[in-house]
Structure 1
Amino acid sequence: MNAGSPRQQPGFLTALALTVAVLAVSSSAPLIAFAAAPALAIAFWRNGLAAVALTPITLGPRRAELTGATKRNLTFCVLSGLALAIHFATWMPSVQLGSVATATALVATQPVWQGLIAAAQGRRPSTAGWLGIALAVLGAAWATGADIGVSANAVLADVLALLGAVAAAVYTALGEQARSALSTTTYTWICYGTCAVVLLAVCLTAGVDLHGYNGETWLAILALVAGAQLLGHSMFSYALHRTSATTVSVLILLEVPGAALLAWLWLGQTPRPAALPGLALLLAGVAVVILGAARATRPAPPPPVLAD
């Protein structure tokens, strides 16, 4: 191989992009926990404002792509948006009900569920992949079991975070089909827009307050849109052109300690000692799944960057 290959030597700009992306997604859970607003409302504004931000590009330079999209691709975009709405409607409440560290770690099991979906589609994970799945499930059970003695809310938060991870995997599987023919901008505009519409309907039906928040909460919501929802996606996408998807996928796991550190320093949430071995085992299992998928003869699709 060429020693000067961009993928071998990502360079300063790529390293900077990855650093910014990890910091952006790491801020997601602490900002959700900090915001004095219902989780479903935060999810609606996060996706709705992101869709608005992407509208000038989608209806401008990408308009021909949008109008020329097939019914099949549009259907996958809409279904992906529905799965994303389920992801946000489960994971974001889990952050407010329980621990930021545990919720972030449990939702990071997305690649595990992704591997199981791939197996159901006939793309069986490697032996290392199955080992990683077993480790991750054991770690998740350990971390969840540690919360049984804490409170019913903590256990509910763990269950919601796991459901959020499963929904994220379904979102990925559906989005993979749409992204094969559409650009990231067009796909995310339809997906975020669909997600926002679904969440708006849920909020209105459930009587969730969508306004009347204090200034700090609105700043937190805007930070979520600009950071995890838009900036995190953009920087990871930039890095993917210059380094491997496996490297990026493993680096995304830094969101877990990053979110835990921010929650400790900013919100005073000290990780529960009893859950730490389980969280470490969970992260090790997810890393093995990602690396196993990269080395498999029939690689399972690597997890995309989800704006948590």
Structure 2
Amino acid sequence: MSSSRHPSTLPTVGALAVAVLAVSSSAPLIKFALAPALAVAFWRNGLAALALTPIACGPRRAELRDVLRGTRRRDGVFCLLAGLALAAHFATWMPSVQLGTVATATALVATQPVWQGLIAAAQGRRPTAAGWCGIGLAVAGAAWATGADVGVSGRAVVADVLALLGGLFAAVYTALGERARTRLTTTTYTWICYGTCAGLLLVLCLAARLPLAGYNPGTWAAILALVVGAQLLGHSMFNYALQRTSATTVSVLILLEVPGAALLAWAWLGQVPRAEALPGIVLLLAGVAVVVLGAGLRRDTRDANASLADVADPSPR
């Protein structure tokens, strides 16, 4: 590997630190916001799409035109389907954060690479032996963490199930997005995805008669922080780092979101992770790390960066 892709330079280390902090703040901010989870998800994606509009409809307008009514309509279909999966992800994971604990919800949604490995296996691309081992560890850890919540309340168990579904839908989003991102720029792809996601979430909010305004200033500040932090800044910093280090390294570092979110929730919100769930969370994270490392070892550097880039994309959370 060339030195240009080695994470030794200060800008790369700084970018990774900012990105991990940005995505780690997501769950605590969702927990802090005094607004329905679906409404927060709508504003998060809608404002992010709005922020990308000047670029998508400016420098990228020719590409966008091809996607909407030109030669790349097939890519546009995959973008729309990815937006649907992204809406399902937010509609499950964000309520799980408000219903349960930040630490457990963040750990369970981090099973996304495990679901991606199972999707790849269903498509005929078998995981490595290390990948299967990691999947087993992650499943055992998830079962442990969820089982620890059985004795707490039915609400906690529902939160765990929603978080796992959030990880599954994030994997589906990634699988669909991978098809489109091979031919489209990141800006065009994310603009369509975020816009589609926001539109679907708006329909859900209106159908459920959820309030979309009238929040206190702290809640609006949390929503804006989600947009600027996890949705835009974290995404951008990880993409910057991916140009200078391996996607496998970045994907493993993203797992630092789990302890990072737990520490922020403890320091800021006074939410202490349940001791009974901690061993399961640690086992789960170890399994996910093995899955990611196994996927990276199976490919050469170029293929790994192409196929793992979406795993390293923090935009779903």
TM (norm. structure 2) is: 0.95
Per the alignment, residue 63 of structure 2 pairs with 65
Deviation per residue, 1:241-266 (Å, 9 max, x gap): 00000000000000000000000001
* Number of aligned residue pairs: 306
Per the alignment, residue 40 of structure 1 pairs with 38
Matched-pair contact (CA < 8 Å) for 2:27–2:102: yes
Q: Which runs of 5+ in 1 are unaligned?
A: none
Say whether 1:304 aligns with 2:312. Answer: yes
Name the CA shift for 1:9/1:86 in 2 (closer, same or farther; >3 Å).
Answer: closer
CA distance in 1, matches of 2:164, 2:199: 24
Matched-pair contact (CA < 8 Å) for 1:172–1:304: no
Counterpart code for 2:89: H
Deviation per residue, 1:105-159 (Å, 9 max, x gap): 0000000000011111111100000000000000000000000011111000000
- Percent identical pairs in the alignment equals 74
1:304 to partner: Cα distance: 3.5
Matched-pair contact (CA < 8 Å) for 2:102–2:265: yes
CA distance in 1, matches of 2:37, 2:246: 34
Off by >6 Å, runs of 4+ in structure 1: none
Per the alignment, residue 27 of structure 2 pairs with 29
Q: Which runs of 5+ in 2 are unaligned?
A: none
1:99 to partner: Cα distance: 0.4
CA distance in 2, matches of 1:227, 1:17: 13
Deviation per residue, 1:259-294 (Å, 9 max, x gap): 000000011110101000000000000000000001
Per the alignment, residue 199 of structure 2 pairs with 197
Deviation per residue, 1:149-186 (Å, 9 max, x gap): 11111000000000000000000000000101100000
Q: How does 1:47-126 map to 2 (within 5 A)?
A: 47-69=45-67, 70-126=72-128
Matched-pair contact (CA < 8 Å) for 1:10–1:242: no
CA distance in 1, matches of 2:84, 2:268: 32
CA distance in 2, matches of 1:184, 1:99: 32
CA RMSD of superposed structures (Å): 1.2
1:196 to partner: Cα distance: 0.2
CA distance in 2, matches of 1:123, 1:8: 29
Per the alignment, residue 223 of structure 2 pairs with 221
1:71 to partner: Cα distance: 1.2
